[in-house]
Structure 1
């Protein structure tokens, strides 16, 4: 197998083209001045085409554009030659005048037999085949092959392999065919060794690096792909920095320059952001004005929930505009627009905002066109618009709809734009999406000090059958328990902003958490959830289930009584009110989350009770956002009705709610038994406080530390007997290590119980999946 030099091209090089000559033969010509030669004209009565195999002679003649008997100059012959060459079909072209005959000699480019890739391991052959434009059974073109080589290099550069090189070569075959081979040298990943900032005063380099998509290289470089140098990501990071500072009141922030510099060994980059922070501004006077007679400015002013002195953020202004425009729609005021007019006060570093309620242009939505959704149904995308065909056109609503479509997580690319329709007052909204996988099948192994080894299998699909529905099936198994759970959710029940959810649970335990009994629970629960306001929602649910305490081998008369009752059914209705003020977007750093739930059992079944639980959680940051502070208060009461006593399967044990104690490790116990068996309680209260802070390690490691203090207790039994079921405070303090790993966020807790009862069981270390506020 031999490779020829003719037609070979190299990366960054020009294709080697064989120079074709135009021979101008002039009968009887003698030594004449050059001007005489240039003035020579020709008339051809016939044209002879040689060397063509696939392209017809008439087609080649049409490319030349020379008519029979037409007077042709030397310049015109050169133009004809160039026109044939420009078709890209011929490797060599010659035009030779022979008296009254024009001879056109061509050598056609060969046909590509196969395309091969050599030397690649980081990008698969099938992925490279999608990148290149050359195809088998098509005519080989050196310029196209060179463009393909450049496209392959660009793909490697996106992976940070800036030293990658590609050499396209051809291997001659019979019948004027060639094999096109791309010889690839992938090169090493060029990482970012250090990211530094110049001009930052309010926030540390560590905090700013945490906001960037680009990361520094470290020992986890094989797993962290964001530490490679990618030029396109730099532009994204510049915008991220601008948004970061703007959302914190720095309205004059600028990225003056970004300087990437290769190290001396040319194996890494040093990236420097030169920035100008400016001053932090706060909100000044907030007012609302309008020249529309039907608008009451005072009523719209009440929708402006911005306090003077609050740090300025464009998000707060956008939220007020959205609230005012929704208020106008509720009042039947169409085409109303709210324009923020900002007055800058440099002396006291405040921004006065005047919201002007005005009449916008009379424009309507003619139609909404959706393209690119091969699996997802149109209605799933269309219901993200609060606007339908024929409604007044509101640019803000279109932008918000685009954000909702992106938030679905069904599409890798989403583009929403508007253009003029069939009339100047009609607008067409174009939605172009690119779908991405929305399902996952996962297998996992685990080990717990209490439960031993375990395994989990889960299937999740967030866009079931393209309907936007959620489906999840999870099976967990360990030495002490087996749990199966099915969840199905329809986010737009009956076409409205109502979420329908159905869940089913089957769980068995085998002396779990050091208990001396087995349990079995079967439960199904349909629910409806809908919004009450911008930040609050209400869930209504019905639950039917059966629980059983079996195979008791202990000595406690309280648990024995629970076991003797056998399998009991319960039928209950309940609700959960939730309020969430956390902001989404770039590094939300504060907010409050509230939940209040009640369940009423007794609509049939064997049990009657009222269960009430409440949760309040808050988060904020301190020290220029270097430290995150969290606080959570949680409590619950189980009130039995109809003379029933609570069972051990119904009571609280605080497992996972307070650190420093084993499962079933605190609360009322039957101390008359050999095992000091845990009984649980009908009431619990817990307060959790936590501070999370950096440990000084590079951000790409994803490791941070924390301190925590937990306080709480569980108490209260219906038939306590000699058991101490009073409120006895417990407390634990400790240190946490947070680690964002490729398999998920892990949390290592090292704790010490400081307030406890003698019979409580401590646990000084535990490893959990981290749950963030």
Structure 2
């Protein structure tokens, strides 16, 4: 007890001494404001553009208050923070009854002009955009900041490196006009030579052949004939580092977990003008090949979810170590917890290397949070589009458990809404409140233009290619509606379309659409050049209105109903009759499912589209179609290349004794089988029809011959392999097969068996370039047609006509692709 009492007294004395010492130090540090002189006046000197009042606004020191040196230091920092001054100094002068402060400033000159020397006008525009993206503020009318000029030089150097000039030099000069207090900033770009890779040599590799390592490279590869216009083979520092990381990943996926790939060594081989041919030498230290040892998981809780244990089974002890597989297992474990609303605070895959046995023991350590509920869902960046319209696309609900898979699907729905530009995970911020076990989800969006006019172009089936303009307005009424007006024309068609689309009508999942249209198309139903052109030209004109509605069945599929009322004027099916006029009403039912990852050039996913329509009025017919598309990344190229497939089935049949009219029959459209142009193949038929002398003079009451009548059934299959060579350029090998046939007989018509239900095939290569203004691909197709028609046919008057389809074709198309 005595020792406890003495110990308490000692501790108390120590605490009193500490408090006394702290108070003494603070008292010594604190200025004696009672004895400090009073600030009697404050004078500002050196400012030319910025008024005194604006400078005084940022000063904490005031006239009539005691002088405080620490407050003066804060004033200096505050004036520097404005960014308008090159130098700031506050001087103190004693006066009879206090002090006089003089604030001396030196203003930064105003940027008058920014010039770039050594670049073209297009390059200057691209460079200015790059500086804006880097948030470098060097604009006329703003103060010149030398630090910003230094940053701009480095951004320009990286920009030149990305264009294939790694040895480019960037210099800057600030030409100041003292009289006007302005400055001209001049950037001089000396491009230097462009490095072209001619050979790649690996030093130190023993377990993996150099040929295998070259396949892992993306950029540092000698340029081939087909890649002459691509960026492959052009050396840049950024591409060299990317390929170095790819080699590291290549080794780590094959068990060489500690492989070291050094910096490339450049050896000039030859110099030709502004190009230097290089041999790139890459040093490699492979190390031993490791295998998987013990695999464990720690989650800080007694029970491990079964889905986590199932994910661990992908790593079997004894198999060759694969870093990508380990990362995939870690992501699946993280996804399991995130789907249950438990965002992992930390998720690591700890690796313990045993050099003696060449084994890697893996410990997956997860620290999951308690189940989190969504506190709030907020949006940033939307000014016109209300939160209410955006929330309609979000599957997460406030107050419910957080689900990361729902968040990903919500972002996809936002991208497809047409209200904002595509959104991904980097645009999402999660603010987790561990104490309240809540998470606030903030989604940054970028609205589409409220209205605008764009050029459009593409291919319209048998109507062929077209160019036009499109006006679009988004959410003008604040309902999320989309109003569009399109006018397009081509050599064989012209269309005008006015449509209105309203999504989530009255806060329901229903989507309504209203369209007014006027269409005209004409085409050669048979482009063999062997028959009378008057018999082969088909045209039709449609004017009408369409009302449609759709309802989502699942997250990726929907069903809908459409009603169309129109008037049609078209050529008859057989020669000898005048153009027909129709008034018809059509009821259509459709279903679609879309799981693709993008609207343009998807890389994975599938789409289904099925429809059935029934027409009445002057045309009694039924038409059904089914279309399937599938996209899959090529695993052997790490997803850079893409497989694409398409299948089409369609059938049309008349009822009440009527046949399918000419404008609803199926003709080759130049898209299903790429080696055949519009109207180049299809069923032919001998016909014999009664006519009046006024309709066909000299025909003695009958008209006979051969006509292209089109089919009532079509089936096609397409496959292609997309190889991107540059940003907008791709090489696409393809194989197509298609068949058009007449199933239902037509009175007075004898279908030529050799042309009916004949499978046409085509294979070849397509060069595809996406045009920047139209957003459509320009396609140059070189095709060989293995199956085609080549035979003689006797006409009704005894003449022999040779029907011969070409074996080799070179075609150019605008728009339309898988």
Calculate the TM-score normalised by the size of structure 2: 0.63
Match of 2:740 in 1: 713
| Aligned mate of 2:521, from 500, 503, 509 | 509
Distance 1:150 1:629, change over 3 A: closer
Corresponding position: 1:732 with 2:761:
yes
Stretch deviating more after TM superposition (735-744 or 632-641): 735-744
CA drift at 1:648: 0.7
Distance 1:586 1:539, change over 3 A: closer
Q: Distance in 2 between matches of 1:241 and 1:511?
A: 51
8 Å CA contact 1:377–1:467 kept in 2: the answer is no
Q: Distance in 2 between matches of 1:344 and 1:125?
A: 44
Match of 2:112 in 1: 115
| Aligned mate of 1:385, from 387, 394, 397 | 394
Corresponding position: 1:369 with 2:378:
yes
8 Å CA contact 1:654–1:684 kept in 2: the answer is no
Corresponding position: 1:704 with 2:724:
no
Corresponding position: 1:525 with 2:534:
no
| Aligned mate of 2:627, from 599, 611, 615 | 615
Match of 1:556 in 2: 575
1:627-675 CA-to-partner distances (Å, cap 9, x unmatched) read: 8655543222212222222111111113232233342222222445788
Match of 1:14 in 2: none
1:396-419 CA-to-partner distances (Å, cap 9, x unmatched) read: 544654565567682488632232
Alignment of 1:284-433 (within 5 A): 361-394=370-403, 397-398=406-407, 401=410, 405=414, 410-411=420-421, 415-420=427-432, 424-433=436-445
| Aligned mate of 1:574, from 553, 577, 589 | 589
Match of 1:595 in 2: 608
1:245-287 CA-to-partner distances (Å, cap 9, x unmatched) read: 89999996999566597979998898999899999999xx9x9
Corresponding position: 1:639 with 2:653:
yes
| Aligned mate of 1:749, from 768, 773, 781 | 781
8 Å CA contact 1:665–1:760 kept in 2: the answer is no
8 Å CA contact 1:688–1:710 kept in 2: the answer is yes
SS at match of 2:218: helix
Superposition RMSD on alpha carbons, in Å?
A: 6.6
CA drift at 1:393: 3.5
CA drift at 1:680: 0.8
Match of 2:695 in 1: none
SS at match of 1:164: strand
Distance 1:609 1:188, change over 3 A: farther
Q: Distance in 2 between matches of 1:478 and 1:156?
A: 43
Match of 2:148 in 1: 148
Match of 2:697 in 1: none
Match of 2:713 in 1: 683
SS at match of 1:544: strand
8 Å CA contact 1:457–1:475 kept in 2: the answer is yes
| Aligned mate of 1:484, from 496, 504, 508 | 496
Match of 2:507 in 1: 495
Q: Distance in 2 between matches of 1:440 and 1:272?
A: 52
8 Å CA contact 2:465–2:813 kept in 1: the answer is no
Corresponding position: 1:132 with 2:159:
no
1:100-142 CA-to-partner distances (Å, cap 9, x unmatched) read: 9999888642575663334465159997898437985x9x7xx
| Aligned mate of 2:813, from 749, 765, 768 | 768
CA drift at 1:441: 3.0
SS at match of 1:109: strand
Corresponding position: 1:171 with 2:177:
yes
Distance 1:186 1:686, change over 3 A: same
Match of 1:540 in 2: 560
Q: Distance in 1 between matches of 2:588 and 2:739?
A: 28
1:440-490 CA-to-partner distances (Å, cap 9, x unmatched) read: 633368999998995422235677677655444332212332112344444
Q: Distance in 2 between matches of 1:344 and 1:69?
A: 63
CA drift at 1:187: 0.9
SS at match of 1:649: helix
Q: Distance in 1 between matches of 2:211 and 2:604?
A: 18
SS at match of 1:548: strand
| Aligned mate of 1:624, from 619, 636, 641 | 636
Distance 1:686 1:366, change over 3 A: closer
Q: Distance in 1 between matches of 2:720 and 2:682?
A: 23
Distance 1:725 1:462, change over 3 A: farther
Match of 2:692 in 1: none
8 Å CA contact 1:667–1:725 kept in 2: the answer is no
Stretch deviating more after TM superposition (81-90 or 406-415): 81-90
8 Å CA contact 1:458–1:472 kept in 2: the answer is yes
1:521-575 CA-to-partner distances (Å, cap 9, x unmatched) read: 13443444455456x52332213133534466x9625xx38x44x2231221312
Q: Structure 2 unaligned runs (5+)?
A: 1-36, 162-167, 526-532, 688-702, 792-802
Match of 1:185 in 2: 187
Q: Distance in 2 between matches of 1:207 and 1:272?
A: 15
CA drift at 1:520: 1.0
Corresponding position: 1:666 with 2:663:
no
Calculate the TM-score normalised by the size of structure 1: 0.66
Q: Distance in 1 between matches of 2:563 and 2:220?
A: 43
8 Å CA contact 2:539–2:571 kept in 1: the answer is yes
Distance 1:382 1:645, change over 3 A: same
Aligned length: 686
Distance 1:241 1:126, change over 3 A: closer
